[in-house]
Structure 1
Amino acid sequence: MIKVPLTVNGAELLRSELQRLKSVERPSVIAAIAEARSHGDLSENAEYDAAKERQGFIEGRIADLEGKLSNAVIINPAEIDADGRIVFGATIDLEDLESSDNVTYQIVGDDEADIKAGKISVSSPIARALIGKSAGDVVEVNAPAGIREYEVLDVKYL
């Protein structure tokens, strides 16, 4: 069984999505199927086909979320004591040595990743390059656009 690393916030987001799917989306699609059935011949009923397809998607997502949550290893970054090293859940301030731009990322689970929110997946090239490094280290990242160099400015466990 593969363990799925999640931050506390990420686990809560998955739980709320699961709750919404079970309490709102599932009953809605069941009602849509019942409505489409009442229209008669199912062999030529596009509404019925669309509702069944949506039901399949919802049930698949529910199963996926339940599996991930049952295999989750929930990590609270605030409780990590990694002696300033970059680990899962850490928030890192970086300086791009080529452009002198500063960026802040948090290393999170695959399901939580959102680059616009500054959350990068633990399996991304930049996260893999950063793991184990400390403030002051220079890190080479093999990105799709070529090799990028970053200096680690600060490591926080928020």
Structure 2
Amino acid sequence: PKPTKTQAPAPKPTKTQAPAPKPTKTQTPTPKPTQTTPSKPKPSTGSAAAIVSKAKSFIGIPYVWGGKSPSGWDCIGFVQYVYSLQGVTINGYNRTSFTPSVGYTVPYSQAKPGDILFWPGHVAISLGGGQNIGAWNPGMGTRIGPDSWIGTPSKVVRVFG
């Protein structure tokens, strides 16, 4: 606002005002964060056992193309949803390419419960021992089945462990 005749304008700083104090040698500078790149990144929450347990609790949920919730999901929606319950966001993949933003790839011979199994056109969660749980198709819904139903997975991604 403009000053009125009864208001004096705000005083301007003068050269006699002291500048802000500079740090002294007794002050400890804030340490800079170090960057480390773990060879096997892990999310901050969740576990493979929790993934398997939660996945099994959804047996019987219907398959819905493009679905992403317990009211119905496709294979990718199922895996994303189960992992999200453990604080893990899985994105960046679709039915023709699989590049999740978490985890690391292991050989199928080393697949463990909770790992993500990928075949061209299908994604599921490993239960170990050649079994998995996934949202298969409209006739089968979410169920446990052998990995061999569609052959050896082309990629296995481990998020926990």
TM-score for both structures, normalised by structure 2:
0.24
Larger proportion of strand: 1
Structure possessing the higher radius of gyration over alpha carbons = 2
TM-score for both structures, normalised by structure 1:
0.24
